[in-house]
């Protein structure tokens, strides 16, 4: 049994090498070349030999050793993926290679495993995702892209272009460094497909258990078909319509955008910290928290 490697540490080690060789304006990461070159240099006995697209039935990505375990193959589903999704899938399989290849000879990764894997019950899938997003979107560079600017799907779209990943992957990365509570919800036909809360939101109990329950969007959600949202829409409402435990004065900023090649809708929910929110404070909290939030954005 080998020492389990930390996904972020491994990805950051590769990123600093790339920074040294290519400088910091080096995006998007050429993940095919990086995976092959890095594995050849560091693991001569069992490198990644080939990366290719194939019409994979039921999988998005696959990592597989030959019989001798002397070389590895990465396949990605060429049939139904965008370029951003392909890049993420290859980085995810590269993550399995770096982190888990001593545990298995073959990794078959499906739709639910890649990109949104934080909701995943299987640790190795979440680890491969973390490796992929760390490698493709290093946080120091990501912070420089968004610093001092109000967050919007346009700005996140710029990040998704820069890193060559989907809008979903870029937004999931951003909520990790969001200055406040942030929740990303993916929905189709007025129901949540999955949702991801950042640490601050999770700690305050603002999350949706989409794996266990079928959850409908609130009737007044921008993305609800009842509403018929406009892409430019960005509005502040009351957090309670999403999270019944939030005090009535708690505001939420909501923005929505079509994603996944228009297959589903992303809703980004932003709320101020919940620190002040203790028992019995609902009544005492001055109503102007909500007003102040609207004024200050």
- For Zn ion, the binding residues (CB under 5 A) are 109, 113, 125, 128
Which candidate, 129, 107, 109, places its Cα nearest to that of 118? 129
Cis peptide before 28 (omega within 30 of 0): yes
C-beta of 51 vs 270, nearer to Zn ion: 51
- Of 113 and 246, nearer to Zn ion (C-beta) is 113
Shortest distance, CB of residue 132 to Zn ion, whole angstroms?
9
We find the least distance from the C-beta atom of residue 35 to Zn ion, in angstroms, to be 14
Per DSSP, the residues of 263-277 read TEEEEEEEE---TT-
Between 211 and 235, name the residue whose CB sits nearer to Zn ion: 211
Closest separation between CB of residue 104 and Zn ion, Å? 10
Least Å distance, CB 174 to Zn ion, is 23
Q: How far apart are the first and last CA of the chain?
A: 51
Tell me whether residue 126 or residue 139 sits nearer to Zn ion (CB atom).
Answer: 126
Residue closer to Zn ion (CB basis): 112 or 237: 112
For residue 126, how many other CB atoms are within 10 A of its CB?
Answer: 16
**Least Cβ distance, residue 231 to Zn ion (angstroms):** 33
Burial tier of 90 (Cβ tally within 10 Å: 0-12, 13-18, 19+): buried
Shorter beta-carbon distance to Zn ion: residue 109 or 151: 109
Taking each helix axis from N to C end, the angle separating 167-177 and 139-146, rounded to the nearest 10 degrees, works out to: 90
Query: Would you list the DSSP string of 18-39?
Result: HHHHH-S--PSP-HHHHHHHHH
Closest CA to 266 of 233, 290, 239: 233
Alpha carbon 72 to its chain centroid, in Å, reads 26
* Cβ nearer to Zn ion, comparing 113 with 254: 113
Helix (H, G, I), strand (E, B) or coil at 296: helix
Min dist CB 125 to Zn ion, Å, is 5
If you search the block for the tokens 């079928």, which residue do you land on? 214
Q: Taking the complex as a whole, how short is the minimal distance between the CB of residue 95 and Zn ion, in angstroms? A: 8
| Euclidean distance between CA atoms 70 and 75, whole angstroms | 17
């Amino acid at each position: 049994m080998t020492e389990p490697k930390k996904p972020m540490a491994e990805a950051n080690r590769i990123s600093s090498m790339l920074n040294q060789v290519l400088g910091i304006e080096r995006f998007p990461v050429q993940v095919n070349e990086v995976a092959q070159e890095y594995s050849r240099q560091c693991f001569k006995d069992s490198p990644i030999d080939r990366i290719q697209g194939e019409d994979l039935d039921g999988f998005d990505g696959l990592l597989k050793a030959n019989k001798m375990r002397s070389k590895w193959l990465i396949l990605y589903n060429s049939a139904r993926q965008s370029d951003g999704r392909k890049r993420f899938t290859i980085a995810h399989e590269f993550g399995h290679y770096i982190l888990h290849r001593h545990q298995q000879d073959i990794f078959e990764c499906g739709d639910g495993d890649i990109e949104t894997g934080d909701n995943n019950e299987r640790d190795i899938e979440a680890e491969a995702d973390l490796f992929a997003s760390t490698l493709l979107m290093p946080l120091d560079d990501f912070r420089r892209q968004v610093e001092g600017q109000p967050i919007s799907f346009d700005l996140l779209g710029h990040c998704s272009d820069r890193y060559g990943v989907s809008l979903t992957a870029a937004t999931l990365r951003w909520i990790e460094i969001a200055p406040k509570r942030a929740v990303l919800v993916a929905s189709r036909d007025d129901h949540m497909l999955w949702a991801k809360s950042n640490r601050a939101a999770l700690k305050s109990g603002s999350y949706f258990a989409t794996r266990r329950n079928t959850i409908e969007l609130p009737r007044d959600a921008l993305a609800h078909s009842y509403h018929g949202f406009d892409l430019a829409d960005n509005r502040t409402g009351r957090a309670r319509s999403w999270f019944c435990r939030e005090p009535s004065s708690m505001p939420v900023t909501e923005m929505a955008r079509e994603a996944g090649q228009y297959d589903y809708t992303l809703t980004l929910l932003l709320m101020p910290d919940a620190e002040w929110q203790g028992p019995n404070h609902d009544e005492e909290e001055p109503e102007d928290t909500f007003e102040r939030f609207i004024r200050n954005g």
